[in-house]
Amino acid sequence: MVVSDCCAPSKVLNYICPSSSSPDSKCMWAQYFPVTNLAKFERVHRVFGLEGIGHILCKLTPSERESAVTALCHEADARLRDPVFGCVGMVLQHQKDLDDLNEKINSAQNELASLVGPDNVPKYYELPIPDDFLASEKMDDLTEDQRNHVTQLPTVDAQKILTEMFGKKEDQEMCHGHGADGASTSAGPSKA
């Protein structure tokens, strides 16, 4: 038997994998949690436990299990970062960020309307965009994946997203006291 045919639960929990005892028997765990990715299983196991994971996977068809394992991994990672709220906390925080941005946009539009009149307030997509905007130093701070996504967007959308990202990043660094390693000192969603 090849070591990669074993499952991560057998390695972590120290039991014999069914696929190792006979070549004809298939282990449900080996397909979704191979021994080559122990860290993935350990995170999910720490949050849901072996019985919980097995209960969820047994209720699903084989075609649904892959998506379920991916969802379990995301939820486990979120629960390890924020044990109280998990993924829901991330959603609530993103919703709060969007609400704050919409409030700032409305406030800026109202202030501008009071200065130049409501008919003279330009929409964000009517503003001129510098030709070299996507070649700016803001792009240097992005990961390769983020850079690919931004360059595929229309320039107007890319400008808006980058401005929001870096404006938010600077605000968070000033307000939350990020350390030198970039780790935040706050935990979970804030309540305002």
Domain limits, the chain: 3-81, 88-176
Q: What is the DSSP letter of 84?
A: T
Residue 120 parent element (H or E): none
Residue 92 makes CB contacts below 8 A (sequence gap 6+) with: 85, 189
**Binning pLDDT at 50, 70 and 90, where does residue 24 land?**
low
Query: Please, are residues 79 and 86 in contact by the beta-carbon 8 Å criterion?
Result: yes
CA dihedral (183, 186, 190, 192) in degrees, to 10, reads -110
What integer is the mean pLDDT of 118-143?
64
pLDDT tens readout for residues 33-79: 888 888 889 999 999 998 999 899 989 998 899 999 999 999 999 99
Distance (Å, rounded) from C-alpha 38 to C-alpha 14? 13
**Binning pLDDT at 50, 70 and 90, where does residue 5 land?**
low
Alpha helices in the chain, H assignment, sequence order: 8-12, 18-21, 28-32, 38-58, 62-81, 86-116, 144-152, 155-176
